[in-house]
A and B are shown apart, each in its own frame.
Chain A
Amino acid sequence: SQQGEEDPQALSIQEGENATMNCSYKTSINNLQWYRQNSGRGLVHLILIRSNEREKHSGRLRVTLDTSKKSSSLLITASRAADTASYFCATDQAGNNRKLIWGLGTSLAVNP
């Protein structure tokens, strides 16, 4: 089942620009995870942020979490053509161990 909603559904930017994707969810969570999926490939884990954390960085990626608004954002700075992919958020619901609830994804196109 899907509980996450992501916006925008699709995003097209130029190389060097920043890309921001948002994810909203409905119930209390243990953590929220972001994944990337290149066309026709498996998903790759990017960042996990716990419910007691507000911000996390990994290289050019910055993730924020606002549990009061039940939302998260993924910022990719100085984007590159290689960042072209679909990005999914997934939540680990409190009390529902062992499976993630997935958002619908944002398709990012970075134009050279």
Chain B
Amino acid sequence: DAMVIQNPRYQVTQFGKPVTLSCSQTLNHNVMYWYQQKSSQAPKLLFHYYDKDFNNEADTPDNFQSRRPNTSFCFLDIRSPGLGDAAMYLCATSRVAGQGLPSLFFGPGTRLTVL
């Protein structure tokens, strides 16, 4: 089945220790998103790739970076995690063509704990 896969599902890191979260998709979608979601809150968009075109949200901390080496994979790098970065990180994909944004397909998320 076509899907969005995130690894790992649970990640524990220490304060200040870099961490990388990964996302892969078999949907061949051209847009990939990274969201941060804290408990009982709505997802917050960090950045997205439209093909290879990287789009950073204005309020995304510099601590967060992303790579998309090919259509299928996208990585979220947190250079120096702080306690406030503990959250669920959600990867999503979409096929965007022309006007209007279709629905997003989400992965199961990675729960990040910072000790």
Contacts and interface: CB of A to CB of B under 8 A. Distances in A.
Interface of A: 2, 30-31, 33, 35, 40-45, 48, 50, 88, 92, 97-100, 102-105, 107
Contact of A102 (B42, B99, B109): B42
Interface string B58-93: 000000000000000000000000000000101010
Interface string B87-111: 0101010101001111111111101
A99 B101 contact: yes
Contacts of B42: 2, 88, 102-105
Given A42-B90, A43-B106, A98-B96, A31 B43 contact: no
Q: How would you classify the secondary structure of chain A's contact residues: helix, strand, loop or mixed?
A: strand
Contact of B55 (A33, A88, A98, A100): A98
Contacts of A50: 100
B97 to A, nearest CB: 10
Contacts, number: 67
Given A43-B90, A99-B33, A48 B103 contact: yes
A98 B50 contact: yes
A92 B104 CA distance: 11
A67 B88 CA distance: 33
A72 B18 CA distance: 42
Closest 10 CB pairs of A and B: A42-B106, A45-B103, A92-B101, A102-B42, A30-B100, A43-B106, A42-B108, A42-B109, A48-B103, A104-B42
B31 interface: yes
B6 to A, nearest CB: 8
Contacts of A33: 103-104
